[in-house]
Homo-oligomer: A and B are copies of this chain.
Amino acid sequence: MSRVRVHNLSVSLDGYATGEGQSLDAPFGHAGTRLLDWFLRTRAFRDVHGESGGETGVDDAIARAWGPGIGAEIMGRNKFGPQRGPWENHEWTGWWGAEPPFRTPVFVLTHHPRPSLEMEGGTTFHFIDASPHEALRRAREAAGGLDVRIGGGPSTVREFLAADLIDHLHVAIVPIVLGRGERLWDGCEGLEERFRTESVTTPGGVTHMIFSRP
């Protein structure tokens, strides 16, 4: 059975996976890039975006697990864009430009479906109004036996955790206190009982935690 995986989900010490006040100029709200700086520095990130260079240490090795074996992604609408409610038009095609880094089918969960978007490089966005179980069924079908990535944001990950659909969860704890935003851990009391956990702190100060099914 293909696995359901979450990778590179960064949270602050106080458990926020994104800041307050998302906008076109601030995908992570007041958090800016502070949750992601460790990731932006890696070669894994730069490769995916067609840039050269980047660090090749432990952060990179862990970040790189994001890609292999994934056949489809499911993301929440707030990861796709800053709009809320009905689409005013269909001009917005995501934060990632003409060639998004996913290169698989991507299912965007929204109460406001719109036509699918075929992008360059193998990414197709499908907009669906579906429960976690139904979204996963469709993503698995599209993934052709490969794993499905839950791409975030935090509320989407929480929904899949609540439905006990996640097999592998990589969280990067960043040593900052954000104070405001969207929490990852709400409603997850006792989460550790369903997983084996392992942690490592890398020299950059980020603690990587991996929850995996025992």
A residues adjacent to B (C-beta < 8 A): 13-15, 171, 173, 175-180, 183, 185-192, 197-201, 205, 207, 209
Check A177–B192 contact: CB distance below 8 A. Answer: yes
Nearest CB in chain B: distance from A158 CB, A: 11
A177 touches B185 (CB 8 A): yes
B199, A175: Cβ atoms closer than 8 Å: yes
The quantity of this chain's copies bound in the complex is 2
Chain B residues in 8 Å Cβ range of A15: 13-15
Q: How far is the CB of A107 from chain B (nearest CB, A)?
A: 27
Of A13, A179, A200, chain B has the most CB atoms within 10 Å of the CB of A13
Min CB distance A148 to B, Å, is 23
- Which one of A15, A187, A188 has the greatest number of beta carbons of chain B within 10 Å? A15
16 further A-B pairs in the complex, CB-CB below 8 A; given A14-B188, A199-B207: A13-B173, A14-B15, A14-B186, A15-B15, A173-B173, A175-B192, A175-B199, A175-B209, A177-B185, A178-B189, A179-B185, A179-B189, A197-B205, A198-B205, A199-B201, A201-B207
Question: Which 5 residue pairs across A and B have the least CB separation, nearest first?
Answer: A179-B189, A14-B185, A177-B191, A199-B201, A201-B201
How far, in angstroms, from A209 to B186 measured CA to CA in the complex?
A: 23
CA distance A39 to B53 in the complex (A): 42
- By a CB distance below 8 angstroms, the chain B residues around A176 are 190-192
